[in-house]
Structure 1
Amino acid sequence: MQLYKILTPIYVNELEKALPFYEELLQTKAGTRFHYAEKKLDVAVVGQLLLISGTEEALAAVRNITLSFLVDDVHAYKTWLLDNGAVIRQDIMKVPTGYNMLVQQPDGTVIEYVEHTRPTTVE
């Protein structure tokens, strides 16, 4: 199992307004951008930040996610996490970049685990 990157989510109402600010602040362009139609969210990765945009209703469904871990094998992590006291809050599902799951760690923290299966830019 390998953890490639840890992303910190920032929840915004308008991605197009927020994106230039964070790109300039971090002096880097968004490496990955996509629309997540099923959840009515727009997402962009800028450095170590995961900008998530949508209506208040759409954002309410994901605001409890404190970090996003980009991993090599979400299935292997699921097995390990269950063996180590974590609770799966949303089982592995297909997402625009591959697969994800939401996990409540033993300390109560909710983390998204993501495995990219389509070519994306990972900064």
Structure 2
Amino acid sequence: MPVVRTLTRVYVDDLDAALPTFVGLTGEQPSLRFPYRDLELASIGGHLLIAGTEEALAPYRGTHATVIVTSLDEVLALVATHGGEILDGPNAVPTGRNLTARHPGGATVEYVEFHAEAAATLA
């Protein structure tokens, strides 16, 4: 289950206001931008900007990173083997499938298996 990319989560209240700074920092344009539930998300460089109201962001703030993997099934097996806990998912999301796991030691990580169209943005 190779990790394809790890994204640092950055929680913001206004995606349009936040993006120019990250364009300047990374020298890149967002590779993905999409709505999810009451949120707006954009991937830029090694960051995943997640925008919404405090209320909308609250359930997600405890997640430390987003990790793009080639196989969610392998993540499920790994989490079970090491005594972690699946907090949410697997779910269908705009980029493919995801799940959120709490690992022994307390790290909470979202794992995403991209569908072909989303995976093409990584090239």
Q: TM-score, normalised by structure 1?
A: 0.94
CA RMSD of aligned residues (A): 1.0
Rounded Cα–Cα distance in structure 1 between residues aligned with 2:78 and 2:107: 16
One-letter amino acid of the structure 2 residue matched with residue 52 of structure 1: I
CA contact (8 A) 1:32 1:122 kept: no
> Cα deviations across residues 42-67 of structure 1 (Å, max 9, x unaligned)?
00011100000011111001001101
Alignment of 1:71-90 (within 5 A): 71-90=69-88
- Name the structure 2 match of 1:92: 90
Alignment of 1:47-62 (within 5 A): 47-62=45-60
One-letter amino acid of the structure 2 residue matched with residue 79 of structure 1: A
Q: TM-score, normalised by structure 2?
A: 0.94
Tell me the number of residue pairs that the alignment of Structure 1 and Structure 2 aligns.
121
> Which structure features the higher share of helix residues?
2
Structure 2: state its 5+ residue gaps: none
- Match of 2:79, SS state, is helix
One-letter amino acid of the structure 1 residue matched with residue 31 of structure 2: G
> Cα deviations across residues 49-92 of structure 1 (Å, max 9, x unaligned)?
00000111110010011011100011111111111111111120
Greater than 2 Å deviation, 4+ residue runs: none
- Match of 1:61, SS state, is helix
Rounded Cα–Cα distance in structure 1 between residues aligned with 2:3 and 2:117: 17
Rounded Cα–Cα distance in structure 1 between residues aligned with 2:89 and 2:6: 20
